[in-house]
Structure 1
Amino acid sequence: MLGKSERELVADVEERLVKRFDQLPPARVSTAVLAAHTRFQDSSIRDFIPLLVERRVSAELAALS
């Protein structure tokens, strides 16, 4: 069985963050995830992108709540 793609892993991150920050509109979380993921589009090493996206967005959304 092959592992999940980066896109699938980032979608999993988004799902977790929507549940974690349920006081915020899901669209706000989605926008933050997309913006964070876009920041890493030119990175040559892709293995840790989902983790970095999750950390960045978690910090951003925690500051809002």
Structure 2
Amino acid sequence: MLIEPDEDVAIDHLTDHLKTSYSDNRTPSEIEIAVDIARSFFKGFPIRTYVPVLVERRARRILSKDSGRTSTATEPVTDRLRHV
């Protein structure tokens, strides 16, 4: 399945927007991981028009749910974010 360049641009923009929105309590790396996890959920979906909007909603949910958890040094951020 070919992903449209417009979708990539939209995902880049929403990632930047989320980095600004969550800059107080999230690292850029955590946000990028959340976006990647959210986007992977829609891999293979034939209709791509709304994927960026859906990815943003899912990434926000991932970032919000994880914010209430206490992390430990032994639990990598990727493991914490995948629980959502």
Q: TM-score by structure 2 length?
A: 0.69
Counterpart position of 2:20: 19
Q: Which has the larger radius of gyration?
A: 2
Q: Deviations over 1:16-43 (max 9, x none)?
A: 1111111211000001101111111100
Q: Which has the higher helix share?
A: 1
**Larger RCO, structures 1/2 (Cα 8 Å, 6+ apart):** 1
Structure 2: gaps of 5 or more residues: 68-84
CA RMSD of aligned residues (A): 1.2
Query: What fraction of aligned residue pairs are identical, expressed as a percent?
Result: 27
Instruction: Report the count of equivalent residues.
Output: 62
Counterpart position of 1:28: 30
Runs of 4+ in 1 over 4 A off after TM superposition: none
Structure 1: gaps of 5 or more residues: none
The 5-angstrom pairing of residues 53-64 of structure 1 reads 53-64=55-66
Counterpart position of 2:49: 47
